[in-house]
């Protein structure tokens, strides 16, 4: 890959995060995952992708637990390069979701506004690994910087050294039609929005009801 342009000039060597920081990030992402999945189910997937430079480009990956056989859901950053979807396992082969998709590569994807079945392939040995990985890391927003990686400034050699444990994955659409389950799916909980709307409407109407004068005919009868 040509290193000209924004990657020119000296850049400090990679500063790999220590084990404690890595574990902290693991726990933080794991706790944040249910919130992100809920946002998709509430119909807010597009909104969660409104700030690519900050939160990054995100999709939800549905995969099968290799031990339990249960469906799992993991939000991931991604990039579309050459019309194909790429993502990365920043914690390498130790991530549970990575182990799951390697055991069962048929997965469900929720990119913003879409839902489809794909096949996962580990392409970490791709001849253009650094070019592809850079695109994914740029699209990950703050997540890459939280891990001590600046994909916009690091040259290829520095980036390669900093991302040695990273796994690069490509997900291609599965051939043939497949019936997906009704639940969960993007937007299947959007009806919940009716609850706060109805509550707000009731709160707006109640003061008017309290101020409504009594019916005059009833007042005459009781007077």
- In three-state secondary structure terms, 120 is strand
Cα–Cα distance measured from residue 169 to residue 100, given in angstroms and rounded to the nearest whole number: 13
Q: Which residues, 6+ apart, have CB-to-CB distance to 34 below 8 Å?
A: none
Q: What is the DSSP letter of 68?
A: T
Place of tokens 């939000």: 75
**pLDDT of 54:** 87
pLDDT band at residue 1 under the 50/70/90 scheme? very low
Q: CA–CA separation, 61 vs 180, rounded Å?
A: 14
Confidence band of 176 (pLDDT split at 50, 70, 90): confident
Neighbours of 75 (CB within 10 A): 21
Query: What integer pLDDT is reported at residue 136 of this predicted model?
Result: 98
Q: What is the pLDDT of residues 44-62, one digit of tens each?
A: 999 999 988 888 999 999 9
CA–CA dist 52, 9 (Å, integer): 26
Where is average pLDDT lowest: 118-127, 173-182, 190-199?
190-199
Degrees (nearest 5) of the Cα angle 25, 10, 145? Answer: 15
67-106 tens-digit pLDDT: 999 999 999 999 999 999 999 999 899 899 999 999 999 9
Question: At the top level of CATH, which class does the domain 19-188 belong to?
Answer: mainly beta
Rounded to two decimals, the pTM is 0.77
Vertex 115: Cα angle to 64 and 95 (nearest 5):
35
HSE (CB half, 13 Å, CA atoms) of 25? 16
């Amino acid at each position: 890959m040509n290193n000209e342009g924004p990657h020119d000039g000296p850049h400090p060597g990679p500063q790999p995060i220590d084990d404690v920081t890595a574990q902290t990030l693991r726990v933080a992402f794991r706790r944040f995952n249910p919130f992100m999945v809920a946002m998709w189910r509430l119909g807010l997937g597009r909104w969660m992708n409104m700030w690519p430079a900050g939160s990054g480009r995100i999709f939800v990956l549905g995969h099968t637990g290799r031990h339990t056989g249960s469906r799992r859901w993991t939000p991931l950053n991604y990039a579309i390069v050459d019309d194909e979807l790429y993502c990365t396992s920043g914690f390498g082969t130790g991530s549970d979701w990575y182990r799951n998709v390697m055991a069962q590569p048929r997965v469900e994807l929720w990119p913003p506004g879409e839902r489809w079945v794909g096949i996962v392939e580990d392409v970490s040995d791709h001849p253009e690994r650094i070019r592809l990985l850079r695109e994914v890391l740029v699209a990950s927003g703050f997540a890459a910087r939280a891990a001590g990686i600046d994909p916009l400034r690091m040259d290829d050699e520095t980036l390669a050294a900093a991302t040695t444990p990273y796994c690069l994955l490509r997900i291609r659409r599965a051939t043939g039609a497949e019936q997906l389950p009704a639940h969960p799916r993007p937007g299947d909980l959007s009806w919940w929005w009716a609850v706060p709307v109805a509550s707000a409407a009731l709160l707006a109407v109640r003061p008017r009801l309290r101020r409504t004068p009594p019916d005059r005919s009833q007042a005459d009868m009781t007077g």
